Amino acid sequence: MVNVKMTLVWLIVLNMGTQIAYAALPIELFASNGALPTLAPMLDQSRPAVVNIATRSHVQTRDNPLLSDPFFRRFFNIPQHQKPRQRTRQSLGSGVIFDASKGLVLTNNHVIQRADEITVSLTDGRSFEAVVVGSDPATDVALIKIIADDLTAIPLADSDKLRVGDFVVAIGNPFGLGQTVTSGIVSALGRSGLGIEGYENFIQTDASINPGNSGGALVNLRGELVGINTAIFSSGQRGGNIGIGFAIPSNMVKQISDQLIEYGEVRRAYLGVQMQDINDELAQAFNISSGHGAVVTRVQRDSAAAEAGVKIGDVIKAIDNRKLINADNLRNTIGLLMVGQTIKIEVLRNGKNKTLSATVKEIQKQVKLKPVHPKLVGASFGDIEESSPYHGELLGVMVYSVIQNSPSWNAGLRPNDIITSVNKTAINNLDDFKILARNSGRLLFNLTRNRRAMFLMLR
């Protein structure tokens, strides 16, 4: 059985055979004078806007557990107080100049996450130190800033106008080889439910993606940015490309970057509902012809949905005239709105169409739980946030953050883990987790990570 896994990556590049590429190129690319078709004029304008990003971070190394034993230290005459050892970690990625006058560069959050130093290199050979303006792990978008003159920015396209079959070109820095250009097509739109990010609405392309390309540009044949390349679907242990890659649409990137510029973070809106996809059986039960939309299974008290009059059993069909495909589509749509924005919600209730008006609020901050067990030091926990793809799907608690090299990190906990049981007892909320974890000598967690369930023993 083939082991299929999701692998975070760095750009989208498609290799087309010579005959296929020439046969598939739009007729407009053929010059009237009989010259060979080429994308070079467009790329001459776009390539200077794509940069290489190098990061450096310092990671504290984990000591052998024997070094914590006082008898062992005395026997081998090891000093009691030693500075923690560190190693330097380097990585490469790509970015896109978003605003030339302000030196703003778009990239992926995972490219610059936990970096102590960020260096941006331009196609003209210049290099600059960058600072982080803001980042959003839930969408994997980050914005950094350099101070430089004579920069070239790339114009943004309306990614909502993309169609399957549109030609796209990828520009980035695969494997640190330097700027590389490849071409492909859009193979699907609106991909979600993959478990890569908290909010997903990916452009799928058959372009080849490789390490070093994350944060690079996916452009149309006019040289306009349609997406930021971020992930691949791969099989096998090496994570090689099999022709299914994903990019964050430019419209989503624009929404996120506007908030990062204004606040340095994303103030995420929420509607206050839990939802379920419409399958064939539910479509028959609600007497609707298609399985598109999402049925409301819970309405949170004092939420925007409650104030708008949304009720359990309503089928939400569209937001601001945009038809919804499923519950993930609805969650993505709401999560990318600006706090305080008023929207129109089209619902089907008892066989009749209704239009409701709601003003979305800022997502509620959940109370984090302090450590209740020695092995949980360094981690923070809370209710499953609406930004999590498991919200409304699983019961349990969410791991908000884990400090590297802390007891919880060394035990194997990671951010965004969803703990569903403690010592084989199912938990529903923070109170259950607190009681069971506090009264245990050892901890056996059943948790979900990247759409996979697993057991984790903390001794």
Catalytic residue among 46, 121, 140, 391: 140
Q: How far apart are CA 422 and CA 443, in angstroms?
A: 7
Tell me whether residue 373 is one of the annotated catalytic residues.
Answer: no
| pLDDT at residue 64, as a whole number | 53
Catalytic residue among 214, 234, 250, 388: 214
Q: Are 239 and 57 in contact (CB under 8 A)?
A: no
DSSP labels, 399-445:
EEEE-TTSHHHHHT--TT-EEEEETTEE--SHHHHHHHHHT-SSEEE
Tell me whether residue 160 is one of the annotated catalytic residues.
Answer: no
Nearest Cα residue to 276 out of 355, 425, 391, 408:
391
pTM above threshold 0.85: no
Q: What is the pLDDT of residues 209-268, one digit of tens each?
A: 777 778 999 999 999 999 999 887 766 555 556 678 899 999 999 989 998 998 888 887
Q: What is the pLDDT of residues 151-188, one digit of tens each?
A: 999 999 999 899 999 999 889 888 778 888 888 899 99
Nearest Cα residue to 220 out of 163, 140, 153:
163
Tell me whether residue 214 is one of the annotated catalytic residues.
Answer: yes
Domains contained in the chain, CATH given: 1-264 (2.40.10.120), 269-362 (2.30.42.10), 374-458 (2.30.42.10)
Q: What is the pLDDT of residues 252-276, one digit of tens each?
A: 999 899 989 988 888 878 788 878 8
117 CB-side CA count, 13 A:
12
Percent of the chain's residues with pLDDT above 90: 25
Q: How far apart are CA 95 and CA 103, in angstroms?
A: 12
Higher pLDDT, 17 or 261: 261
Catalytic residue among 91, 110, 121, 383: 110
| pLDDT at residue 4, as a whole number | 34
Of the listed ranges 27-36, 135-144, 244-253, 267-276, the one predicted with least confidence: 27-36
Q: What is the mean pLDDT of residues 76-97?
A: 70
Q: How far apart are CA 145 and CA 131, in angstroms?
A: 5
Q: How many CB atoms lie within 10 A of CB 240?
A: 13
Residues 6+ apart with CB under 8 A from 284: none
Read off the amino acid at residue 265. Answer: E
Read off the amino acid at residue 226. Answer: V
